[in-house]
Structure 1
Amino acid sequence: MTMSSKQYEVPYFQEKYGHLFSEMNAILNVLHEGICISNAEGIILKMNPMYERLCGLSPEALLGKKVSFLNSKEGVFDEAEPHADRVEQKKGIFLGAVSPVILKSKRPASSVQQTSGGKKKLLHGYPVLNANGDVELVVTFIRDISHLTLFQEQIGYHKHIFKKFWSNVQNNTPEGSDPSAVVVESPPMKKVMALAQRIAATDANVLILGDTGVGKGEVARYIHARSDRAGNTFFCADCTSIPENLIESELFGYAPGAFSGARREGKPGYFDIAAGGTIFLDEIGELSLPMQAKLLRVLQDQEIMQIGSLKPKKIDTRIIAATNVNLEQAVADGTFRQDLYYRLQVSVVYIPPLKERGEDIQPLAQHFLQRYNLKYRKHFYLSDEVVPILLKHSWPGNVRELQNMIQGIVITNEKEVIDPMDLPRMMPTEAIPASESYMPTQGQLGKPLKQMMADIEFDILQQAMDTYKTTEKVAEVFQVNRTTVSRKLQAGKKKRGS
């Protein structure tokens, strides 16, 4: 019998079993699962085109062979097989087969197998019993589940991302931030971070002072990350964002049935969430006097009293407080408790405003630019003309203003080079001479272009020297060698003096 391209079977299959499958070929050929039929001796009798594709071998290579031919796990051969067949058998297709199991148990069997090519296949085998209850045929279905494995890996990856995100939420850590890495270049901030590192080694309460947006939260996270509590929760509680009538229950929680509408099981407070770790009370100067009294008890006795509870609850939480309020003046005005102020004043860290630490401006701008380039998949960079403008600005919003400005530029800009025209209108664009300032003056007319460009270059370097004070810093800004800056300045002064 001649086999057609879609009827993969041994010749005597039609003679013995053809009456059972007279209309089956057309059905088998359209199925998305691979199908293999073998007899009680384990001889492969029939297969459909999908089975051929999944196995990667032609029907001529499989039909009439034993099912063990597909099994590379056993590594044994039938010595009666021709030598050529044994070579093919040694390569193997699956790491196992279900037919031998079915022939012994007379029950369906399933298996997830891996081909020699590394792909995973799902095998389901079913016995066909004769009138005596013996296995006459074994029908095996095969399906490629490699894409399911890939999907499972993707789910695992997204679970990892979600777990990391949830950890950041619990620890109140902003996305993409590294609490142990703070951008510091200026001498004042280097002193601040050195002090923060010394404080981190202790378990003392900390009071961080500074204007809004100077980075009090970042320093608080730095202290936590360098402390013995680093493995536990860092929780930020913004005292200005919690309604006055809820702040006590939010900070300390409440007992079961504390009031009408309360949860039956009660509610833990922020101090419970931060147990064993650190709680950061941001803008503590905004707390009311009654809440200040309750917080004083926490600092003195290391215990809280939940709403509706009759027993105090011991806590093990380090407190880092921060405020932009002048607490000495607030104590004098009667708006802040003196005893709480003294209790918080164990370790005080003052962060100067950004305008007093100019060496940090450019590194911070580059840091935020890199962060938002990565987040929004952009490739922006600052032009040389932008840096002097950033240094000239007074930054009333401090680091937060710089960060928000860079983020806004990355989101809204189209071209990759950030130049002065892309900065907010309130920025001091007079920090760099306007383009019309470079037009030749009456005294420059008649000079060669090379001389005119040298004069303009000298003016730019001289203005930069007035801003940065040192040739080393000017060289860093303009990305040239320091000796080049010195040489051009000296040459320009010599020509101007002659």
Structure 2
Amino acid sequence: MKTQADMFEIELNAILQASKDNIVIADGKGTVLRASPNCTSIYGKDSASLIGKSVFELEAENTFSPSVTVKVLKENKEVQVMQQTPTGRTVMATGLPVRNESGEIIRVISFSTDLTEIQHLKEDFEELQTRMEQYQTEIQELRGKDLSIENLVLQSKAIRQIWQLVQRVAKSDASVVFLGESGVGKNVFTRALHQGSDRKKEPFIEVNCGAIPEALFESEMFGYEAGSFTGANRTGKAGFIELADKGTLFLDEVGELPLSVQAKLLMAIQEKKVARVGGLKAKSIDFRLIASTNQDLAEMVRQGKFRQDLYYRLNVIPITIPPLRERREDIPLLAHFYLQKTNEKYGMNKFFHSTAIEKLVAYDWPGNVRELQNMMERLVVTAETRTIYPDALPFTFQHDLEQQAGNRSEVEDEEKISTLKEALEEVEIRWLKRATRQCITTYEMAKYLGLNQSNVVRKLKKYNIDAKTHLNAIEH
């Protein structure tokens, strides 16, 4: 006849066998006493290999990562954790302490629920939502297809107006200079201008004015005749201007042009003639001139760093492209655009969670579109899941975003200040708060601020600043 203990054993084994959740029972020291037979599919080890082992040991070898039983024993309470198992499963584990009459933990029972399929369904749902947003975007783009071009996102009013202006001036031969911060997309608009012109089938010659050494600039720009200098090509060489005949000459970063070549370039632009270095005869060249710069050319003229006559020749139609922080509505579309291109490049299918997009929109993007493009490639390569969450964004990005928010808060605070006295008090408060973060005692704060200690104590009380809780403990 079976005893009550035998019946309890049978019932417990039946529960372990029938449960869809994985159940592990450990004693008060963390030694595994029982485990469900479905351990193999979730943790990659059968129940027999777990029994008798310490959960601390199993955590160290990443079988339980992290171990919910370890957390229960350390925190002395019920705990719930998410685990990534060696078999690639996503598991939610709940640990329950069992206590004796003295309140000591004598058993820990953990229940592990496999959420992998739910996680996949969640990601599929989020991908579906993202695709719906993309389809809506595509519908908007189709409605305004006259405002679409490869590698160019036209969402904000400012960019649409620039695109319309580019279309209007493309058919003319007027010189155009694109102005704006580095990385805003000046090169993209330049190529669009060439593609929209009657010269689109002719050469598009791009010259990075900042990448050519000054000693070589004249020979590279205007070309040279055979034997004109030591090391010259025996047959001579055509310069960039000559190569642009019938097409477009694009001077990127034109603010970097050496003064020594500006006069000769001006003559070539005005007369549409070029004489090679070492040559006597000038050759007529037909080209459309486009330039770009991230510098203030007008200020450079005032400083004598740029010729005024060349400035006016270039500045026939100036087009300023605003930075991303001034057209935040473009950021989601640009992010999806470059994400898709990078997905295709690496054969992946990553997509954004809506909270990640919110972070991207809030960021100021000092490197503009170029920085955003590089960020998309980094996220596709480094994100662990198909869904890109905010925690996949680099630490430096998160830090800059926090600092950016802090700077905005300071500006807002300054705007609220109406008198000089209030402004001075605000400065004092900031320095005092900074000192509380940097120093341990008010004596150290006094040295840091260049004040005496009693003055520091008085000001802390005046502004009701709560110094670090350990401050008084150390001083007294």
Tell me the TM-score normalized by structure 1: 0.49
**Using the alignment, how far apart are the partners of 1:430 and 1:284 within structure 2?**
31
Alignment partner for residue 257 of structure 1, among 199, 213, 227?
227
Q: CA, structure 1 residues 249+300, in 2 after alignment: closer, same or farther (shift >3 Å)?
A: same
1:5 is matched with none
Q: 3-state DSSP class of the match of 2:215?
A: coil
Deviation, structure 1 residue 205? 1.1
Deviation at 1:243, TM superposition (A): 1.1
Task: Name the CA distance, whole Å, in 1 between partners of 2:220 and 2:398.
Answer: 44
SS at match of 2:181: coil
Please say if residues 179 and 225 of structure 1, whose CA atoms lie closer than 8 Å, have aligned partners that are also in contact.
no
Which residue of 350, 366, 372 maps to 2:342?
372
1:94-493 matches, within 5 Å, as 180-428=150-398
* 1:113-157, Cα deviation, whole Å (9 max, x unpaired): xxxxxxxxxxxxxxxxxxxxxxxxxxxxxxxxxxxxxxxxxxxxx
Partner deviation per Cα, 1:203-257 (whole Å, 9 max, x = no partner): 1111110011110000000100110011112121111111111111111111111
- Give the AA of the match of 2:204: F
Q: Deviation per CA, 1:378-414, whole angstroms, max 9, x where unpaired?
A: 1111111111101110111111110111112223334
For the 8 Å contact 2:205–2:244, the answer to whether it is kept is yes
CA deviation after TM superposition for structure 1 residue 198, in Å: 0.7
Task: Look up the SS of the partner of 1:246 in the other structure.
Answer: helix
Match for 1:207: what amino acid? V
Deviation, structure 1 residue 180: 4.9
Q: Counterparts of 1:209 and 1:193 in 2: how far apart (Å)?
A: 14
CA distance in 2, matches of 1:291, 1:271: 13
* CA positional deviation for 1:374: 1.1
Q: Structure 2 counterpart of 1:308, which letter?
A: G
Partner of 2:408: none
- CA–CA separation in structure 2 for the residues paired with 1:393 and 1:228: 40
Question: 1: distance between equivalents of 2:362 and 2:396?
Answer: 12
Instruction: Give the secondary-structure state (helix, strand or coil) at the position aligned to 1:230.
Output: coil
State how far apart, in whole Å, the 2-side matches of 1:232 and 1:180 are. Answer: 19
**Contact preservation (8 Å) 1:179, 1:218:** no
Aligned pair in 2 of structure 1 residues 263, 385: CA closer, same or farther (>3 Å)? same
What CA distance in whole angstroms lies between the structure 2 residues aligned with 1:297 and 1:410? 49
The gaps in structure 2 that reach 5 residues or longer are 1-147, 403-476
**What is the one-letter code of the residue matched to 2:159?**
M
1:193 aligns to what SS in structure 2? Answer: helix
Amino acid at match of 1:198: R
Cα deviation for residue 299 of structure 1 reads: 1.4
Kept in 1, the 8 Å contact 2:182–2:294? The answer is yes
If each structure's helix is expressed as a fraction of its own residues, which one has the higher value? 2
State the AA in 2 paired with 1:398.
Answer: N
CA distance in 2, matches of 1:429, 1:285: 33
Structure showing greater Rg: 1
Distance in 1 (CA, whole Å) between partners of 2:399 and 2:218 is: 48
Alpha-carbon deviation of 1:363?
0.4
CA distance in 1, matches of 2:271, 2:204: 21
Secondary structure in 1 matching 2:291: strand
Which amino acid counterpart does residue 354 of structure 1 have in structure 2?
A: L
* Partner AA of 1:375 in structure 2: K
Q: Give the conservation status (yes or no) of the 8 Å contact 1:420–1:429.
A: no
Taking structure 1 as reference, are residues 179 and 268 closer, same or farther at Cα in structure 2, changes over 3 Å only? farther
CA distance in 2, matches of 1:339, 1:306: 23
> TM-score, length-normalised on structure 2?
0.52
Contact 2:151/2:188, CA 8 A, preserved across alignment? no
| Percent of residue pairs bearing the same amino acid type | 45
Q: 1:251 to 1:179 in 2, by over 3 A?
A: farther
| Structure 2 residue matching 1:248: 3-state secondary structure | helix
The amino acid across from 1:201 in the alignment is K
**2:177 partner SS:** strand
CA distance in 2, matches of 1:272, 1:232: 13
CA 1:380–1:229 in 2, change beyond 3 Å: closer, same or farther? same
Classify 1:301/1:408 alpha carbon distance in 2 versus 1 (closer, same or farther; 3 Å). Answer: same
Report if the CA contact (8 A) 1:214-1:353 is conserved: yes
Cα distance between partner residues in 1 of 2:378 and 2:395? 13
After TM superposition, the structure 1 = structure 2 runs for residues 84-95 of structure 1, keeping only pairs within 5 Å, are none
Q: Is the 8 A contact 1:331 1:338 kept in 2?
A: yes
CA distance in 1, matches of 2:370, 2:400: 23
Are the structure 2 counterparts of residues 337 and 241 from structure 1 closer, same or farther at C-alpha, using a change threshold of 3 Å? same
Equivalents in 1 of 2:214, 2:394: separation in Å?
36
Letter paired with 1:223: L
Question: Structure 2 CA distance, aligned partners of 1:338 and 1:209?
Answer: 17
Task: Provide the aligned C-alpha RMSD in A.
Answer: 1.8
Q: Give the secondary-structure state (helix, strand or coil) at the position aligned to 2:396.
A: coil
Counterpart Cα distance in 1 of 2:288 and 2:353? 44
Query: Aligned partners of 2:326 and 2:158: how far apart in 1?
Result: 8
